[in-house]
Amino acid sequence: MLKAKFNTEKISIKIGLVFSKLGMSPNMWTILALIPAFFGFLLLLEGNLLVAAAFFVFSGFLDAIDGAVARVTGSVTNLGAFLDGIVDRYVEILLYLGLLFFLTNSTIEEIFVPHQYWISLLIFGALMPTFVRAYADHRNVVTEPEDHRKMGGLIERAERLILLFVGMILGYFNPVYLAYIVVLATVLTNLTALHRIIFVLRFKKTT
């Protein structure tokens, strides 16, 4: 959704021009994003929410560099896109598991169900939208890139992470804010998955 509303191409080119001078390949930048994410996870285990958020934001910045460098150096490859998607999933799981431990160790009351349930549903909801799109393509139901983009949804990865980062910052002042934002992100991600499933079913009927 953010990509649809804002033209980030110019910013990406500037980032690529700057960091391509360091001589690191796009795949190296991709893998490098795992390091701050891992330290962010460890910081969440220690209950250091604000610094953990900074590490995960830094990981997200490194994740943006790989694609930018690939574009300005003409080294965009399917393998690089594959590796980027895999690392993205690992970074997200590190964040969610870290939030699981942080919320479990907090003294805040559960919201309808224990925090572990919400995090489990958040992980499921975060993975399903990508799976729905990939599986629709795998089964030759929705194959054109333009149709993939039309799937959309209420919240995608970038918005989901921004929402959680805001929750982590607010959670520094009171963990209950983070808990409610986790619930909100969980609901929105699962609705996004449902939205894409409905899109595929309707798309099949019209083709």
Identify the pLDDT of residue 8: 64
pLDDT of residue 7: 52
**Rounded to whole angstroms, what are the CA distances from 53 to 69, 81, 140, 146, 196?**
25, 25, 39, 34, 29
Residues of the chain with pLDDT under 70: 1-9, 205, 207
pLDDT of amino acid 6: 47
Are 192 and 130 a contacting pair, CB within 8 Å? no
What is residue 182's predicted lDDT score, i.e. its pLDDT? 96
For the entire predicted model, the pTM comes to 0.88
Angle CA 38–115–174, to nearest 5: 80
The radius of gyration of the chain's CA atoms, rounded to the nearest angstrom, is 18
pLDDT tens for 111-154 read: 888 999 999 999 999 999 999 988 988 888 887 878 778 887 88
Pick the CATH number of 1-97 from 1.10.3720.10, 3.30.450.90, 1.20.120.1760, 3.40.718.10: 1.20.120.1760
Both tokens assigned to 61: 């910045």
Dist CA 171 CA 185 (whole Å): 15
